[in-house]
Amino acid sequence: MQDLSLPLVVAVTGHRDLVDDEVPAIRDRVDQFLKQLKKDYPSNRLMVMSPLAEGADMLVAESAVANRIEVIVPLPKPREDYLNDFVADAEKERFRRLCAHAADIFVLDCDPPPAPEGQDPDEWKNDYPYAHLGAYLSAHCHILLALWDGKSSERLGGTAQVVQFHHDDVFPGVTPATIATQQMLVDDESDLVYHIVCSRDRPDGEPQQGLVPLECYWFTKDENQPQSVELPSQHELIFQRTSEFSSDAKRFQNKILDSRYSLVNKDHADDLPPGLKDIDHLYGIADWLAIYYQRLTLRSLVTIHCFAFFMGLMFILYSDLESWRVYLVAFLACFGIAAGVQAQAKKGAWYRKYLDYRTLAEGLRVQYYWGMAGVSNENKWKFTHDSYLQSQHAEYGWIRNVMRVAGMRYDATPWTTSFGLKSALAEWVGDTESGQLGYFRVKAQERVNRNQLTDHLGKLSLACSVLVVFVFLSFASYLSEQLSDILTVIMGASLLLYAVREGYAYATVTKELINQYEYMLRIFYNAHRRLESAKSSDEIRQILFALGESALNEHADWLLMHRERSLDEAEIWHLGS
């Protein structure tokens, strides 16, 4: 059966010229590190991504194979060209042996730009693919494992520059000065390095002053504690969320495989590259789980608001009809049931999971259709996942972590075909009856209808109250005490029903979603109109890029808007009383 657990990806960067006397101890530390990750995150599938260069890359890959950990091999050049950079025949044979154990081997799509002024063209042509490889490793891993002396270096694509890029999103001489990214200034989850200090087999090969060979620590951009023995708490939370997603996927594995929704058109499934299918695979999991937890959330909200209504009704009966003790007992019983449902929902994190998994699914949707259409970022060193939810709370970094895995294979060799572009237009944008354009048209109308129901209920309760007051003013002297009490109960119950319905509409963000769906409808409609008049594939891709950016921003706003709406026990008591 297909394994739905999410990979925890460790990418390797390190020196080729390790000191022989240190190698056994380095290997032992790598083994301990990988075993500890397997122990700490059993729900995830540990994966090592290594280019299998001489030295550190091969050492870590051998540890992974020995520990039965999946190895992925991205190559900066075609295999034979890559092997030309190896010095010894024994190392070439070692490379081939490790390739035989690899789960996947692929060559990164890399077309070096012209060499900068003053740079030797041949040296640039040879080194640039390694810089591209370093950026790829950084962008698609959860942990960068660096076997490194800690020294800075001018060598393009060397270990020092890969670590610097992982922290600062800058490759000296490669990333244009005109391109500034938000990641350069914010604290996020993409800066996590596990540093095993090593020496180099060369003159002046000792580690950076202050570092001791073979010491190990986590290395981040944290201003106060950049080096720590324990995994920083921010990253620990992100890994817990990722592990939680994997646990849910494995828990419902059979149901997910039987009924998940796929973005792939079955008629064209055989024509798609593996990378797009990987994104769709994770989309199917996230979408199914989002729907599952949405249903639990809505059921809990309906139950809570129904019992809140009965709480209020019992209080009205007690205060306005008969002061019977049973009404107070029923009031407390209704509160207990509502609070119990709320406690169960909170314990199971139903609401948070629904929001997180839906946000992930929508991010993967954009990632998939951008991939199908051949849309790429203007800054080729950054990928879809890098800026998604970046302005939100740091814990949402786990969503970017999932998207790193999803885009791993596709980002290595992007797919640009006229067939893919046409399919993206038809399946993503669509028209008033299909695609996201059709979806938002229907959803916007559904939300309008729900809001109208609440408005009608409000008018009905108002009319009922006015009628009761009119009866009291006109016929008070003719009404018995019992009938007066009944009319008071009816008026109170009608107002209570409207208040509870209004509370439910607030909890489900009904009014705000009308504006959001109508906004997205206009965005997709404008995109559809612009696409019909586009004169080239490049223009179409520019429009789709802008559309995807708008969708991602709106999903981030959707998440923030919903996160602010949650019921606790005090609010249930207030609503019911």
Write the secondary structure of 287-314 as one string of H (helix), E (strand) and C (coil). Answer: HHHHHHHHHHHHHHHHHHHHHHHHHHHH
Distance (Å) of CA 428 to CA 373, 546, 548: 10, 14, 10
* CATH number of the domain that residue 209 is part of: 3.40.50.450
What is the identity of the amino acid at 87?
V
pLDDT at 564: 67
Instruction: Assess whether 26 and 113 both reside in one domain.
Output: yes
The tally of domains found in the chain comes to 2
Same domain for 206 and 275?
no
Last residue of a domain, one of 232, 250, 278: 232
pTM, to two decimals: 0.89
Q: Are residues 466 and 556 in the same domain?
A: yes
Last residue of a domain, one of 203, 232, 261: 232
Q: Would you give the DSSP letter of residue 427?
A: I
Residue ranges making up the domain that contains 191: 7-232
Same domain, 145 and 73: yes
State the pLDDT at residue 121.
84
Give a yes or no: residue 262 inside a domain. Answer: no
Whether residue 23 is contained in a domain is answered as: yes
**What is the spatial distance between Cα 577 and Cα 571, in angstroms, rounded to a whole number?**
10
3-class SS at 418? helix
Question: In this structure, is residue 399 part of a structural domain?
Answer: no
Distances (CA, A) of 288 to 293, 368, 391: 9, 17, 26
Q: Are residues 537 and 471 part of one domain? A: yes
- Are 88 and 190 part of one and the same domain? yes
With CA atoms as reference, report the closest residue to 43 among 240, 278, 193, 284.
Answer: 240
**Residues 220 and 313 grouped into a single domain:** no
Give the separation between CA 172 and CA 177, rounded to whole angstroms: 9
Q: Edge-to-edge, what's the strand order for the sheet holding 70-75?
A: 104-107, 70-75, 45-49, 7-14, 143-148, 193-197, 216-219, 227-228
Is 198 within the bounds of a domain? yes
Q: What is the dihedral of CA 141, 146, 147, 153, to 10 degrees?
A: 130
Look at residue 259 and tell me if it is in a domain.
no
Cβ proximity of 129 and 77 under 8 Å: yes
- Same domain? 182 vs 228: yes
Q: What is the CA radius of gyration of the chain?
A: 30
Residue 512 and residue 450: Cα distance in Å, rounded? 12
Is residue 162 within 8 Å of 137, Cβ to Cβ? Answer: yes
Torsion sign across C-alpha atoms 30, 9, 51, 173 = negative
| Amino acid 383: pLDDT | 75
Claim to verify: residue 282 and residue 222 sit in the same structural domain:
no
- Answer yes or no: do 227 and 302 share one domain: no
> Are 155 and 203 within one domain?
yes
Element (H, E) at 148: strand 143-148
**pLDDT score at 178:** 45
Low-confidence ranges of the chain (pLDDT < 70): 1-2, 172-189, 378-381, 391-392, 564-577
**Within 13 Å of residue 360, how many CA atoms lie on the same side as its CB?**
34
Distance between CA 549 and CA 534 in Å, rounded?
Answer: 19
Terminal Cα distance for the chain, rounded: 52
Residue 405 lies in a domain: no
Same domain membership, residue 135 and residue 204: yes
CB 569, CB 339: distance < 8 Å: yes
Q: Is residue 92 part of a domain?
A: yes
User: Do the domain assignments include residue 238?
Assistant: no
Cα atoms in the 13 Å half-sphere on the side-chain side of 437: 21
pLDDT at 573: 61
Reference 394, options 273, 278, 220, 165; nearest CA is 220
